[in-house]
Amino acid sequence: LAKTTQPISMDSYEGQEVNITCSHNNIATNDYITWYQQFPSQGPRFIIQGYKTKVTNEVASLFIPADRKSSTLSLPRVSLSDTAVYYCLVQASGTYKYIFGTGTRLKVLA
Partner 1 sequence: GAGVSQSPSNKVTEKGKDVELRCDPISGHTALYWYRQSLGQGLEFLIYFQGNSAPDKSGLPSDRFSAERTGGSVSTLTIQRTQQEDSAVYLCASSLRQSVDTQYFGPGTRLTVL
Residue 98 binds to partner 1 (criterion: CB under 8 A): yes
Q: State the Cα–Cα distance between residues 13 and 68, nearest whole angstrom.
A: 29
Q: State the Cα–Cα distance between residues 26 and 94, nearest whole angstrom.
A: 14
CB contact at 8 A, 88 and 37:
no
Sign of the CA dihedral 40, 45, 50, 54? negative
Among 7, 32, 52, 55, binds partner 1 (CB under 8 A): 32
Strands 84-92 and 104-109 turn out to be antiparallel
Among the candidate windows 13-21, 57-65, 70-78, 100-108, which touches partner 1 by CB under 8 A? 100-108
Nearest alpha carbon to residue 37 among 79, 77, 1, 89? 89
Among 60, 68, 87, 108, binds partner 1 (CB under 8 A): 87
Among the candidate windows 15-23, 29-37, 52-60, 62-70, which touches partner 1 by CB under 8 A? 29-37
42 or 81, CB closer to partner 1? Answer: 42
Residue 43 binds to partner 1 (criterion: CB under 8 A): yes
23 or 102, CB closer to partner 1? Answer: 102
Rounded to a whole number of angstroms, the minimum distance from the CB of residue 44 to partner 1 is 5
